[in-house]
Amino acid sequence: MSSICLYFQVHQPYRIRQYSFFNIGIESNYFDEELNITILNKVADKCYIPANKLMLELIQKSNKKFRIAFSISGVAIEQFEKYRPDVLDSFIRLAKTGCVEFLSETYYHSLSYVYSKPEFERQIELHREKIVEHFNQVPKVFRNTECIFDNQLAEDIYQLGFKGILAEGVPYLLQDRSPNQLYTNAIHSKIKVLLRNFILSDDIAFRFSNSSWSEYPLTANKYTQWLNVQRHSADCINLFMDYETIGEHQSKASGIFDFIEHFAKQICSKKGFQFHTPSEICEKYDIEGIYDANYTTSWADTERDLSAWIQNTMQQESLNKLYSFREDILSLKSKELLNQWSMLQSSDHFYYMSTKHWADGAVHQYFSPYSSPYDAYIYFINALSDLEIRIAREKANKGIH
Amino acid sequence: MKKIKVLMIGWEFPPIINGGLGVACYGLSKALSNKVDLTIILPKTDISFSLNNINFIGLNNIDLNNIDIDNQNYKYEEFANTIEIAAKEFSPYPNAIDKLKNEVLGNNISEATDSNNLFSGNDLYGDNVMLRVYKFADYVAKIASSLEFDIIHCHDWMSFPAGIKIKKQSQKPLLIHIHSLEFDRSGIGSKNWVYEIEKEAIANADLIVPVSNYTGNIAIQNYEAQISKIYPVHNGTEFTAAFHQRKEFPEKLVLFLGRVTGQKGPQYFLEIASLVLKHYQNVRFVVAGTGDQLRDMIENGAYKNIGTKFHFTGFLTKDKVNQLLSMADVYCMPSVSEPFGLSALEAAQFGIPCVISKQSGVSEVLYGALKADYWDVEKMASHVISLLTNNALREALVKDAYQDLKSCSWEKASEKIVEIYHKAI
């Protein structure tokens, strides 16, 4: 018997508006509410609403054999609360089936693990509160922003009380071993590490509607056969992807909804396979080996490292400057300043600044609301300059030096 | 495979250069010369100037009185009304147009000019430009009748009448290479005789090669060009040995380089400078070049409040231009309509970050640049300020632009051109 672990990431950042140099010191509204609502509505209608409906039906019709996990960022939940309560309700209905696990992550979908451990912990706690509030469950498995992972993170997460963590199954760290079993990190031997099977995951997430792919079109039958091939050596096959894959990255016309439906039904009716959530996987299976991530990996780009967010000088400067404000921001105890500073932490802002292959019009630009990485940086750094001025003003007002 | 025989008709060519056209024709034909059998006919060549594998014919080196061309009546009147309107406001080539106007509207049009003198002066536009263009067409057509070629390739309106004539007499396919259009130079409503020549050529051509998608779209929208004939090829750039030089003043330097005409947006540069200086004073702005708006710009006094920080150099030689580039901190090209914009690539070679208008062809190849609509002075100005104050941005742009330069070569452009030739042969 092998487990199939389906986990979907749900996240929408607060995108920064075209915040000009001439706004600095004058206007302090950094975010493009109109754009954010537009995108949220678009993705809600294409993906969240119809996909949640499908998931609910599959759970009900399979007698709860169909089981999935979500990680929903705090900022995405906030936006559902404000603009699309119907989406939030549909996630709550899924939670009530008992077949859906909600994972832990940083509230702001941030890179705080890399820049500030105390900030990282603050955001995990904030996120936990939000998940408990809406879904009435306490997350037991952690998933860091974009699957950013290393030995020390796994250790820190274990110390925070989590029993499992998700990571990318990076080939050069696996060294010919299978990603389809549980590992632990090289520091501790108790935390359970679930590794993403990136080939099988990306077959759906990236290649599904690519007509020049040799396996196109991908049918549920074919896909289940591929899983079958790996079954004899697999405890758990971890299929991790963005939830927006269903209906947004892969359009409805591509047949993605039908694919998911047939795939789920086939697995539920087949002997030898069962759906399990990450917590169930951690309960069910033992650690089979050590996954030694002695440097930091992620699920992004072909490099599978931090270079999507922290590579060029613009990204580095933005991040260093942003996190250098933390002490001041916390000491000022201004809810508004804290909130805006936190919203600026979403990893997306730095992803938009990436100049990697951008001349080829690659994946970073697909997601970016700006016409170039330089524009993304300029608006961000302008907003940050304004924040800096406000911090100084507040400090002066409060007589802090 | 047998080499294609190309008959190229040009106007500007080194060492006689007025702007980007001559530079581009030179770069392209040099790269083409080892791929095709190339003959270039020009109004004027310098005997001391030669390139391997290219057969140059300069009308200035031929005794034109021995070439018998049909005596033709040029119907200048047809254009007379439109040119009057156009010339008041706009000018195809600034220093030529006033004289041209007199000439065209005056009574002495038909007076014969000594053909030999027509192409031996220093200014190819200057006096009699229209007469020159049509006489050029006649002589070139005559010369072409004794040449063997598979395709005709001409550059911009001055050579289009020649191209059309040769196509008609030889039945060979005509490729017109568009480096700029009257629409760019004079804006909407520029329906003068240059426009008419361009329009006729666009209708007659078998292949249209604009230097950018931007210019291709103008040809479609304003000249009714057939989309299926259009194959844009971006210009390349010659490698320049860049150097850096210390400035004689402590302020940073923002540079505008090019003809001071409406098309290049110098008035926007002035506005950008004025806005930047309100927020950031440690900078000087330099307009390098000359043109019909130079006097206006100096006289109109718009810059008076910033006069001590806003400078004009007038015409500069290539050496002087390079010297300025070696000192500049930001290159600003707020062109209203720029078919390509080679100078931005030259600035990038000198490691200068560029702020360029979206209404330019170069913005299609220079990803490592900040862009804004030419009329969006506020955005342009904030881009300039960002580059003056932010090293992280500056470094990223310079590095990325350098990568972009690698893909902008004449070698690549010429390979594309050869592919395009094959579509008509």
**A103-144 pLDDT, tens per residue?**
999 999 999 999 999 999 999 999 999 999 999 999 999 999
| Set of chain A residues whose Cβ sits within 8 Å of the Cβ of B280 | none
> If we measure between CA atoms, which residue out of A116, A36, A133, A178 comes closest to residue A342?
A116
Could you tell me if B390 lies within 8 Å of chain A, comparing CB atoms? yes
- The two structure tokens encoding residue B366: 């220079």
Rounded Cα–Cα distance for residues B316 and A170 (Å): 58
Chain A interface, best mutation among B234, B275, B363, B397, by max A CB count within 10 A: B397
Share of chain A above pLDDT 70, in %: 98
Q: How far is B50 from A99, CA to CA, in rounded Å?
A: 80
Give the architecture-level CATH label for domain B252-406: 3-Layer(aba) Sandwich (3.40)
Helix axes A313-324, A373-397, angle to 10 degrees: 20
Give the Cα separation of B20 and B258 in Å (integer): 10
Query: How many domains are contained in chain A?
Result: 2
CA distance A93 to A12: 20
pLDDT for B170-218, tens place per residue? Answer: 999 999 999 999 988 887 666 788 999 999 999 999 999 999 999 999 9
**Nearest beta carbon to residue B392 from set A21, A314, A358:** A314
pLDDT in tens, A316-370: 999 999 999 999 999 999 999 999 999 999 999 999 999 887 655 566 677 889 9
Q: Where would I find the beta strands (DSSP E) of A29-163?
A: 68-72, 100-102, 141-142
- Quote the minimal CA–CA distance from B369 to chain A in Å: 8
Tokens of A20: 């000009």
Average pLDDT rounded to a whole number, residues A62-78:
97
Say if the Cβ atoms of A20 and B379 lie within 8 Å.
Answer: yes
Q: What's the CATH number of domain B5-103+112-236+411-424, 3.40.50.2300, 3.40.50.9100, 3.40.50.300, 3.40.50.2000?
A: 3.40.50.2000
Specify the 3-state DSSP secondary structure of A242.
strand
Residue in the structure block whose two tokens are 């009546």: B73
Complete edge-to-edge strand list for the sheet that includes strand B37-42 = B54-58, B37-42, B5-9, B151-155, B174-178, B207-210
Residue A300 belongs to some domain of the structure: no
Residues 6+ apart with CB under 8 A from A341: A322, A325, A326, A329, A387
Which of A21, A316, A359 lies closest to B386 in CB terms? A21
Q: For A15-32, what is the mean pLDDT?
A: 94
Q: Is the peptide bond before A13 cis (omega within 30 degrees of 0)?
A: no
CA atoms of B401 and B394, how far apart (whole Å): 11
Q: Give which of B216, B58, B210, B85 is closest to B143, Cα–Cα.
A: B58
Among B26, B52, B152, smallest CA distance to B414 is for B26
Task: Return the higher-pLDDT residue of A401 and B246.
Answer: B246
Which of A78, A101, A146, A280 is catalytic? The answer is A146
B397 at interface of A, judged by CB pairs closer than 8 A: yes
Buried b (16+ CB within 10 A) or exposed e, A27-59: ebebbbeeebeebbeebbebbbbbbbebbbebb
B chain contacts of residue A379, beta-carbon cutoff 8 Å = none
Predicted local confidence at residue B102, as pLDDT: 46
**What single DSSP character describes residue A211?**
T
Residue A15 to residue A346: CA distance in whole angstroms: 9
Contact residues on chain B for A313, CB-CB shorter than 8 A: 391-393, 395-396
Whether the CB of A97 is below 8 Å from some CB of chain B: the reply is no
Indicate if A46 and A166 belong to the same structural domain.
yes
Same fold, B5-103+112-236+411-424 and B252-406: yes
Whether the per-residue pLDDT at B291 is higher than 50: the answer is yes
Q: Which residue has the higher pLDDT, B152 or B320?
A: B152
| Residue at B214: amino acid letter | Y
Q: What residue has token string 């921001």?
A: A329
Could you tell me if B402 lies within 8 Å of chain A, comparing CB atoms?
no
> In chain A, what residues touch B384 (CB-CB under 8 Å)?
none
> What sign results for the dihedral spanned by CA atoms B47, B49, B52, B53?
negative
**Which candidate, A358, A192, A216, places its Cα nearest to that of A280?**
A192
Show me where the domains of chain B are located. Answer: 5-103+112-236+411-424, 252-406
- Per the rule left: phi > 0, alpha: psi between -120 and 50, beta: everything else, B341 is left
Q: What is the pLDDT of residue B50?
A: 78
* A221 inside domain: yes
Residues A283 and A327 grouped into a single domain: no
Specify the DSSP class assigned to residue B302.
T
Q: Which band of pLDDT confidence, cut at 50, 70 and 90, is reported for residue B235?
A: very high
pLDDT recorded at residue A36: 97
Return the pLDDT at B107.
37
For residue A298, being part of any structural domain is answered with: no
Span B94-120, pLDDT tens digits? 433 344 444 444 434 333 456 666 777
N residues, chain A:
401
Same domain, A38 and A87: yes
Residues of A in contact with B382 (CB under 8 A): 20-22, 378, 382
A299: in domain: no
H or E segment and range at residue A7 = strand A2-10
Q: Where are the alpha helices (DSSP H) in A193-288?
A: 198-205, 220-231, 256-269, 278-284
Band of residue B236 on the pLDDT scale cut at 50, 70, 90: very high
Q: How far is B213 from chain A (nearest CA, A)?
A: 16
- Residue A295 resides in a domain: no
Cβ of residue B391 closer than 8 Å to a chain A Cβ: yes
| Angstroms from B357 CA to nearest CA on chain A | 13
Q: Closest Cα partner for A313 from B251, B353, B333? A: B353
* Same domain, residue pair A145 and A114: yes
Which tokens go with B121? 């002066």
The CA-based diameter of chain A, rounded to the nearest angstrom, is 70
A374 and B393 within 8 Å at the Cβ level: the answer is: yes
The interaxial angle of helices B391-406 and A373-397, nearest 10 deg, is 180
Q: How far apart are the first and last CA of chain B?
A: 13
Residues A260, A329, single domain; the answer is no
- Cα–Cα nearest to B372, from B17, B384, A298: B384
The mean per-residue pLDDT over the stretch B252-266 comes to 93
Residue A101 and residue A185 share a domain: yes
Segment B43-57 mean pLDDT: 83
Contact B367 A372 (CB under 8 A): yes
**Residues A108 and A42 both lie in one domain:** yes
Q: Which residues span the domain enclosing A334?
A: 313-397
Regarding beta strands B252-257 and B151-155, do their DSSP bridges make them parallel or antiparallel, or are they unpaired? unpaired
Q: B417: how many CB neighbours lie within 10 A of its CB? A: 24
Contact between B167 and B174 (Cβ < 8 Å): yes
Dist CA B336 CA B341 (whole Å): 11
The verdict on B403 touching A (C-beta cutoff 8 Å) is: yes
Instruction: Please indicate, yes or no, whether residues A269 and A163 belong to a single structural domain of this protein.
Output: yes
Give the residue among B181, B120, B131, B174 at the shortest CA–CA distance from B149.
B174
pLDDT at position B273 over 90:
yes
In a domain, A302, yes or no: no
Nearest 5°: phi and psi at A278? -55, -40
What mean pLDDT do residues A201-230 have? Answer: 95
For A20, other C-beta atoms within 10 Å of its C-beta total 19
> When comparing pLDDT for B100 and A46, which is higher?
A46
Confirm if A266 and A225 have CB atoms less than 8 A apart.
no
At A182-199, the pLDDT tens digits run 999 998 779 999 999 999
| Residue where a domain terminates, one of A290, A323, A349 | A290
Whether residues A77 and A40 share a domain: the answer is: yes
Angle at CA B240, nearest 5°, toward B236 and B242? 135
Would you state the structure tokens that stand for residue A185, as one six-digit string? 């990190």
Of A290, A322, A339, the residue that ends a domain is A290
Interface A–B counts its CB contacts (< 8 A) at 55
Q: Which two tokens stand for residue A276?
A: 């399990």
Average pLDDT across chain B, whole number? 85
Residue A31 CA to residue A337 CA, distance in Å, equals 13
Q: Round to whole Å and give the CA distance between B420 and B425.
A: 9
The neighbouring-strand residues paired with B176 are B154, B208
- Cα distance between residue A277 and residue A279, in whole Å: 6
| A375 to B370: CB separation less than 8 angstroms, yes or no | yes
Mean pLDDT within A90-113: 98
**Tokens (6 digits) for A179:** 């990603």
Cβ burial, residue A312 (10 Å; 0-12/13-18/19+):
buried
Mean pLDDT of chain A, nearest integer: 94
- For residues A283, A284, A290, A295, the Cα torsion angle rounded to the nearest 10 degrees is -60
Q: Quick one: pLDDT at residue B110? A: 39
Adjacent-strand bridge partners of A274: A3
Is A297 a member of any domain? no
Final residue in a domain of this structure, among A290, A322, A350: A290
Q: Which residues of chain A have a CB within 8 Å of the CB of B380?
A: none
A288 is catalytic: no
